[in-house]
Structure 1
Amino acid sequence: MLERLETIRMARAMTAHAAERTKIIAGNVANADTPGFRARDLEPFARAYRGGADALRATRAGHVTSGAEGFSARITEDEGERAPNGNYVSLEEEMVKTAEAKRAHELSIAVYRSSLSMLRTAIGRKG
């Protein structure tokens, strides 16, 4: 039943996007000293979610998809400044991205909780 509600689907997709972005950021940080490594990121959630104007579909193996219906995102390479060892990872930028991903995850949880609260109210339960 809950899977049919758009807000629940969106919250699930947003959670999946934040989790996948966190994994990619962790990979960037892990490769911060790897010569020639290019930092990666996910396209913004608004573009990746099916309601966005530029909605994406997983049409090839290079796309990242989640179990959440209506969500797929493409991994992009960041165009940053090149370090002396030839890699493109800025730890400061990765820290900012981590904070953004955390904020997106917290927002998805808030949307989910709010949706459940509205459902409880609609069926006459408190809590």
Structure 2
Amino acid sequence: MIPVFCASETVAFRILKALSESAAARVLGASLESIFEDLEDVLGPDYVPADEEVPELTLRMRGHLMLLLGAAWENEADDVRAARDLLAREVPCDRTGNRAHLRRVALACLSLLDRSAPLPPPAPGFGERLDRSPRAALS
């Protein structure tokens, strides 16, 4: 049987619940909620930060990235190395450059959160063999 990806709201809530109980959540504690709020601000489709908000958001996202790097279990992973390289770079001063840097930092945070999230529990009935052969219908 080939598992089929289910993008239902129930599955999404199970994934979010599993993420909230992950190792990063235990290490980060209350910071996790503010990380998700800032990620929504930076990466959300309906929000474009004003020019005066970008430096503060960048500073907060860089702080979140530092926290997540501290909670990362695999220090040699590609996304961990990329996040460290991103923090080592200087924040660009131009309008386009600082917004692009902000989004890169937010995406690096999201990548580290994805890495720390456990796999969600399987859906009810997952793994049961579905035998749809004509012989199975006769028996």
**Do these two structures clear the TM 0.5 threshold for a shared fold by scoring above it?**
no
Question: Which one has a larger percent strand, Structure 1 or Structure 2?
Answer: 1
Question: Which one has a larger percent helix, Structure 1 or Structure 2?
Answer: 2
Shorter-normalised TM-score: what interval? 0.3 to 0.5
TM-score (ref. length: structure 1)? 0.36
Higher relative contact order (CA 8 A, sep 6+): 2
